[in-house]
Structure 1
């Protein structure tokens, strides 16, 4: 791959935010990547107002229009990782790297409980309901690209929490982030701000600059 895409070529990063968030949530990460010479593109969507399949197709077009034939990576947060898994098989070219920040990989226990509430259904729309369906989560392909998966561990623990004593980020347990046998990097942070971890940005920059899948990521 390095023979076809020299290290001097521009690298694009597609950033896909999580449910209930906006591209603003990814600005700090984007700033750190741009400081390292990586061009960033923030995809925006609304879980409340968009349907699943049209949103996946719009993401495909967004990626195609911005990266052309140049090198690129994809970074998703939470639901943004689910969208990324759905769009990857439909891209003409695969990204060099996928970075999943707190990705729900199973039917989220949190989403299952909240799905009973009408307000939650209204706020999160079809996409939020899909996160509570195990059959849907099982239907998503496991990415066949170099992948980094991160989970937060600073969520509350105890019998009074939905997670008991399991390590979690306040929204997802580490078990709900595990994707097959792919190593998970644990970070001392919570779900909503995991993308602001300096380690995430540093790992991405290291991999992009060295081309090594192992640098910066113990596992």
Structure 2
């Protein structure tokens, strides 16, 4: 087994799952990036039991073990928010970041569900942070924004989105204005629904392109 210290940081990729999911939800994306020449590892945090600050401490410790010299990060939904916050905390060690459907400015769906006691109790304190758009993201420094790529969904699910109070294009859970609401180097809008973003072959191809050169592929497959 190769020593992680021998792998260049620009070939190491950590993948972070979203709220209520686990590392397995990122395995297909990891396998596709591995096939593209990256060395990947999935990260885990107790998404339903800890606030983002606690999750970051746990994730940071895992990254230090798996990629001590640094790595890229790819995160789905809340995992993308945490990826960006980890980049903000240590821009030298965390290289490029790609977010998949991340609620950077919160989500009306989270606000709707946070009023449903059973769901709120199940999903934990992070749901309330998303509902309040309290994601700890303000104007990004240039050295962080230039390394951020965003893949956001604009799926044909208007009737479903309306149930949550989303009155603009979205992936069914996260509005485009939230996903794209922070400074970034490049963005890609897809018609993929929220939960399918980590499973999309095209998303994986585009993630690989951004990690390689800091921009998405101009020609879509």
TM class by shorter chain equals 0.7 to 0.9
Cα deviations across residues 89-113 of structure 1 (Å, max 9, x unaligned)?
3337333311000010113111111
1:167 equivalent among 166, 169, 182: 169
Residue 69 of structure 1: how far off its partner (Å) = 1.9
Gaps of at least 5 residues in structure 1 are: 1-6
In 2, distance between residues paired with 1:126 and 1:34? 33
Q: Any conservation in 1 of the 2:99–2:149 contact (CA below 8 Å)?
A: yes
> What are the within-5 Å matches in structure 2 for residues 110-121 of structure 1?
110-121=109-120
On the 8 A contact 1:74/1:98 being kept in 2, the answer is yes
Look up the match of 1:137.
135
Seen in structure 2, the aligned counterparts of structure 1 residues 144 and 215 have a Cα distance that, compared at 3 Å, is closer
The counterpart of 2:187, out of the listed 180, 184, 187, is: 184
Per-residue CA deviation, residues 2-57 of structure 1 (Å, 9 max, x unaligned), is xxxxx987711100000111111111111101112211111112222234322211
Matched with 1:156 is 157
Higher helix share: 2
1:197 corresponds, among 162, 181, 200, to 200
**Worse-superposed segment, 87-96 or 193-202:** 87-96
Q: Is the 8 A contact 2:10 2:95 kept in 1?
A: no
Against the structure 1 CA distance between its residues 79 and 68, is the aligned structure 2 distance closer, same or farther, given a 3 Å change threshold?
same
Alignment of structure 1 residues 1-219 onto 2, 5 Å: 11-69=11-69, 72-91=71-90, 93-134=92-133, 136-137=134-135, 139-140=137-138, 142=140, 143-158=144-159, 161=163, 162-164=165-167, 166-182=168-184, 183-208=186-211, 211-214=212-215, 216-217=217-218
Q: Where does structure 2 lack aligned partners over 5 or more consecutive residues?
A: 1-6
CA distance in 2, matches of 1:9, 1:184: 23
1:138–1:52 CA distance, 2 compared to 1 (3 A): closer
Aligned match of 1:3: none
21-30 vs 7-16, greater mean Cα deviation? 7-16
CA RMSD in angstroms comes to 2.5
User: TM-score, with normalisation over the residues of structure 1?
Assistant: 0.83
Verify the 8 A CA contact 1:57 1:87 in the aligned structure 2.
Answer: no
